[in-house]
Amino acid sequence: MRIALYVLLCILWIPLFLLGYIFYVIPVYRSRGKVSGTTYEPFIGRLLYHLHGGRPDPAALQLSRGLPVTNSLVMATIFYPVVWASRITGYTPELLQYPLTDFSKFTSIMAARTQFLDTALDECIETGDQIVILGAGWDTRAYGMLRDKQVNIFEVDAPATQAVKRAALEKSGIDAAHVCFVSCDFNQNSWLDALKANGFSQQQRSFILWEGVTMYLEESTIIDTFKMVASLAPGSRIACDFFTREWFEGTKAGKATAKAISAQYGEPWIFGMPHQPDLESALGEYLNKCGLILVRNLMIGVETNGQAPVGGLLLAKTPA
């Protein structure tokens, strides 16, 4: 009964949703090729979890008021109605479920990313560590869960995307004085060199957070990044998410999703992790070749009878 009522409310809401979607895609298309549009995907997930109450993140809601795409019309016609319908009916769709325990579906990827990375940060960082958010996009951890930690925080991103982020922080009234912003094009320059030019110490323990980025980069850039992390101080870690190439190139669901993302944002998926003979073994071997040690991983999807999992997340460390 609750599901039926939720579906009914969503059907009634379709005209408003279509209106909101137009105002969502217009600023995305205007900035294609300059500002990353896919940065909105993980951000919207965290924003919805906050609105629904599963993962408090007031900084995400505050930042949304300064970003071009999450304007007040889009919030009122897309995001708030999804949450209101859930509260009215008592039914929580997968889109809003947080935390999750079942990671067997592609729809688990947003919650899985957030849970895995939040947990890794909570467990691994210590006073005095350096936190580097690579391809930071609209990540708000520096203004929420990390704000009161005694750590040094660096956000690294492409110049145009970072400029929009900083303007949004200022417009929404978020204090970012404790964050060091470093501009870098990952496919053209060394993010480590850019960091060191801005006060980063290669001899100090660091945690590298890399969310929603690997699939858009060339494999050479992925390998270089892992090798640069391996050159950091003992005990340094990197946590990131990924898709498997076999899934987005070899399955109907993967091909359809990749095409939809590329069509909307103009950012095609390029890189996928290997998964043979099994994902954990493949990850361990891949990271070892780059000088890192796999600490743990989380698989998204299923891996049976040769079927490729969607992807997953990994936490790796530098050798002691």
pLDDT digits (tens, 9 = 90+) for 173-212: 999 999 999 999 877 778 999 999 999 999 999 999 999 9
* Average pLDDT, rounded, for the chain: 93
pLDDT bin (cut points 50, 70, 90) of residue 105 is confident
pLDDT bin (cut points 50, 70, 90) of residue 273 is very high
Q: Is the pLDDT of residue 311 over 80?
A: yes
> For residues 107 and 311, is the Cβ–Cβ distance under 8 A?
no
* DSSP state at residue 263: H
Tell me what pLDDT residue 277 has: 87
Query: Comparing 190 with 304, which gets the higher pLDDT?
Result: 190
Integer angstrom CA distances of residue 261 from 28, 95, 161, 257, 265: 12, 17, 18, 6, 6
Instruction: Give Dmax (Cα) for the chain.
Output: 59
Tell me what pLDDT residue 33 has: 85
Mean pLDDT confidence for 251-260: 91
Mean pLDDT confidence for 136-157: 96
pLDDT bin (cut points 50, 70, 90) of residue 104 is confident
Percent of residues, the chain, with pLDDT higher than 90: 79
> For residues 75 and 41, is the Cβ–Cβ distance under 8 A?
no
pLDDT in tens, 38-61: 999 999 999 999 999 999 999 999
Burial readout 56-95 (b: 16 or more C-beta within 10 A, e: otherwise):
ebebbbbbbebbbbbbeebbebbbebbbebbeebebbbeb
List the one residue out of 147, 173, 123 whose CA is nearest residue 57.
Answer: 147
Mean pLDDT confidence for 80-86: 94
Kindly list the domain boundaries of the chain, sorted by start residue. Answer: 2-96, 106-317
Percent of residues, the chain, with pLDDT higher than 70: 99
Tell me what pLDDT residue 306 has: 67
Mean pLDDT confidence for 96-111: 88
Mean pLDDT confidence for 312-318: 97
The letter for the amino acid at 304 is T
Tell me what pLDDT residue 188 has: 75
The pTM of the full predicted model, rounded to 2 decimals, is 0.94
CATH superfamily of this structure's domain 106-317: Vaccinia Virus protein VP39 (3.40.50.150)
